[in-house]
Amino acid sequence: MRWIAVWRRNFLVWRKLFAAAVLTNLADPLIMLFGLGYGLGALLPSVEGMSYIAFFAAGQLCTATMFTASFESMFSGFSRMYGQKTWDAILYAPLVIDDIVAGEIVWAASKAWLTGSTILGVAVVFGLAHSPWVLLAVPAAFLVGLAFSAVGVIMTVLARGWDFFSYYMTLVMTPMMMISGVFFPAEQLPAPLLAIAKALPLYHGVQIVRPLIAGGPPPALWLHVAVLLAYAAAGYVAAIYFARRRFSS
Amino acid sequence: MTPLAARGLRKSYGGTEVVCGVDFAVEAGECYGLLGPNGAGKTTTLKLCLGLIEPDAGAIELLGQPVPRRAREARVQVGVVPQFDNLDPDFSVEENLVVYGRYFGIGAAQMRKRIPALLEFAGLAGRADAKITTLSGGMKRRLTLARALVNEPQVIFMDEPTTGLDPQARHLIWERLRRLTQEGKTLILTTHFMEEAERLCRRLAIMDRGRIIAEGSPRELIAQHIEPQVLEVHGQGYEQWMQRAKTLSPRVERVGDTVYCYGADIDPLLRDIPKDLSYLHRPASLEDVFLKLTGRDLRD
């Protein structure tokens, strides 16, 4: 449990910069949610039996969670590792790189969870979700955060410079957002694209959260949970492998 | 118990061996220096001793623990002052120490009790709430030193602790390091600052190209490796005079436009120097030993 000290270090920084951190994390996704939700919603009265804004809220919750997890684990993580050399300082103490990787992943997932939960809260307040089922979206947001944080830390420990993250964001995250059923049902995609979406974590997050917002249990819940857990676990193992390699040379 | 012992240490990076068979042992309560030009392998040796990187060969024992296998356990009682400050810029002076204490499992309440003494030691009393960005280079270095002491370590590693500091700041650090040795702490420092090594280290090892090429107390090293007196001569016509000097001094060396004469008795040379040459007569120093052993070529 030594990684908790790493988590607490990041938490303390976040608490000091609370206002700016919350604003940047939440303003963007909420503007998107209401702008697109009400704007497009006027044209599309109902999608899969939900109002468009409720449909989009599920996608936006997962997307914003993905972005928070990825930004925190990549840009902020890289700044701590590479710019500030905070990781080096931690390694003089009785911690090893595995502890730092674990602390960073759980921290970024926690921050992402806060983003997801807040969007969920806004959705509930605006009457987009009514059923108690929606409460399950709270742990689901953490799971989505964990999957993307683990992958993000892999990128961080592989990165040689800041540009590296642009590739991941442009070539992986943006297309993933388009095919994972965030803006429209993924099932209307051509079969090959749908197959790719199903291999990626965001699709599974949306598949869990959307039925919960609609007010019922998600079909094939455990499959989706298993995929997200697999990304988190495999990402954790790979991040440790590459982090050890980076820090042993 | 020997605080630190290393035997047959080797480490290569990409086919280049940067540490090639290093042996040394540090005694409890001494300040031991690793002296060497840039790229001699000093920092790599420190990292190996801390268990931050794995040696290709050799054995290390730090505070009774085999390293790297049980480096984490050893580091519980170790403090580190790195070459480049890596204080947390988002935190105040006090928060830096509190957060760092947590890495050792020290709670915030306990840490806050230790902080006044640590800040006093670091000459930062009254600065607990200062932001890191407002501190001078010397203050940051002292805070880094205080941070290395949060866990009340037995052994403190310092990688070039005073590089980049002005003389006032440097002397303050030296004074504090002496105080630590008086308290019985074991210090291991790397430096390429001869004055620092001469003043602080009870024993030191001169490293070059990944090897220890000499070891001993500063005085022993000077006595063993170099003549006690040095005369530096330069000015118009030094080349002619150099020929005469060679007959009067056991060892004469020319570096650029300066002639260095070494010997036990320099007086015959002093009497012989023509008026128009400038000279400096001084006792031999560790720097002379260092340059003799590692050569005068630039290392970058």
- Give me the pLDDT at residue A46, please: 87
Please write the tens of the pLDDT for every residue from B3-12: 999 999 999 9
- Give me the pLDDT at residue B300, please: 63
CA distance A88 to chain B (A): 8
Please write the tens of the pLDDT for every residue from B91-132: 999 999 999 999 999 999 999 999 999 999 999 999 999 999
Is residue B223 over pLDDT 70? Answer: yes
Cβ of A190: how many Cβ atoms within 10 Å?
Answer: 8
Would an 8 Å CB–CB cutoff place A5 in contact with chain B? yes
- Give me the pLDDT at residue B247, please: 87
**Residue among B53, B86, B103 minimizing CB distance to A93:** B103
The three-point CA angle B183-A90-B172 to 5° equals 40
Q: Give the three-class secondary structure for B127.
A: coil
Would an 8 Å CB–CB cutoff place A100 in contact with chain B? no
CA distance A52 to A32: 13
**Interval B173-178 mean pLDDT:** 93
Residue in chain A closest to B95 (alpha carbons) equals: A12
**Interval A190-206 mean pLDDT:** 97
On whether the CB atoms of residues B79 and B176 are closer than 8 A, the answer is: no
**Phi–psi pair at B123, nearest 5 degrees:** 65, 30
- Structural domains of chain B ordered from first start: 4-223 (3.40.50.300), 227-283 (3.30.70)
CA distance B6 to B207: 14
Beta partners for residue B81, in sequence order:
B158
**Interval B52-77 mean pLDDT:** 96
CA distance A86 to chain B (A): 6
* Amino acid, single-letter form, for residue B6: A
Q: Which residue has the higher pLDDT, B193 or A104?
A: A104
Is residue B297 over pLDDT 80? Answer: no
Asked if A92 and B80 come within 8 Å (Cβ–Cβ), the reply is yes
Maximum separation of any 2 CA atoms in chain A, in Å: 59
Report residue B252 as tokens: 């004469």
Please write the tens of the pLDDT for every residue from A122-137: 999 999 999 999 999 9
- Give me the pLDDT at residue A42, please: 85
- pTM of the predicted model as reported, rounded to 2 decimal places: 0.92
Spatial CB neighbours of B200, under 8 Å, sequence gap ≥ 6: B31, B33, B174, B177, B178, B181, B187, B189
Is residue A41 over pLDDT 90? Answer: no
Provide DSSP, A176-227. HHHHTTSSS-GGGS-HHHHHHHHTSHHHHHHHHHHHHHHTSPPTTHHHHHHH
Q: Say what percent of chain B tops pLDDT 70.
A: 100
Is residue B261 over pLDDT 80? Answer: yes
Please write the tens of the pLDDT for every residue from B72-85: 999 999 999 999 99
Would an 8 Å CB–CB cutoff place A248 in contact with chain B? yes
Q: Give the three-class secondary structure for B22.
A: strand
Q: Half-sphere exposure (CA, 13 Å, Cβ side) for A119?
A: 35
On whether the CB atoms of residues B207 and B45 are closer than 8 A, the answer is: yes
**Interval A33-49 mean pLDDT:** 86
CA distance B231 to B269: 8
Spatial CB neighbours of A87, under 8 Å, sequence gap ≥ 6: A80, A81, A97, A100, A247
Spatial CB neighbours of A93, under 8 Å, sequence gap ≥ 6: B75, B100, B103, B104, B151
Band of residue B237 on the pLDDT scale cut at 50, 70, 90: confident
On whether the CB atoms of residues B232 and B280 are closer than 8 A, the answer is: yes
Q: Which residues of B touch A249 (CB under 8 A)?
A: 13, 53
Rounded to the nearest integer, the mean pLDDT of chain A is 94
CA distance A67 to A63: 6
On whether the CB atoms of residues A84 and A162 are closer than 8 A, the answer is: no
Comparing A154-163, B52-61, B242-251, the range with the smallest average pLDDT is B242-251
Please write the tens of the pLDDT for every residue from A171-188: 999 999 999 999 999 999
Please write the tens of the pLDDT for every residue from B5-44: 999 999 999 889 999 999 999 999 999 999 988 889 999 9
Task: Find where tokens 């040696």 sit.
Answer: B55
Domain that holds residue A181: 3-247
Please write the tens of the pLDDT for every residue from B65-74: 999 999 999 9
**Phi–psi pair at A194, nearest 5 degrees:** -65, -40
Q: Which residues of B touch A8 (CB under 8 A)?
A: 99, 102
Q: Which residue has the higher pLDDT, A92 or B238?
A: A92
Beta partners for residue B13, in sequence order:
B16
Is residue A200 over pLDDT 90? Answer: yes
Rounded to the nearest integer, the mean pLDDT of chain B is 93
Would an 8 Å CB–CB cutoff place A89 in contact with chain B? yes
**Interval A209-221 mean pLDDT:** 96
Maximum separation of any 2 CA atoms in chain B, in Å: 73
CA distance A154 to A235: 7
Is residue A167 over pLDDT 90? Answer: yes
On whether the CB atoms of residues B91 and B132 are closer than 8 A, the answer is: yes
Q: Which residues of B touch A90 (CB under 8 A)?
A: 103
Is residue A220 over pLDDT 80? Answer: yes
**Residue among A16, A84, A249 minimizing CB distance to B13:** A249
**Phi–psi pair at B150, nearest 5 degrees:** -55, -35
Q: Which residues of B touch A2 (CB under 8 A)?
A: 103, 105
CA distance B78 to B159: 14
CA distance B296 to B249: 21
- Give me the pLDDT at residue A22, please: 79
Total domains in the fold of chain A: 1
CA distance B55 to chain A (A): 10
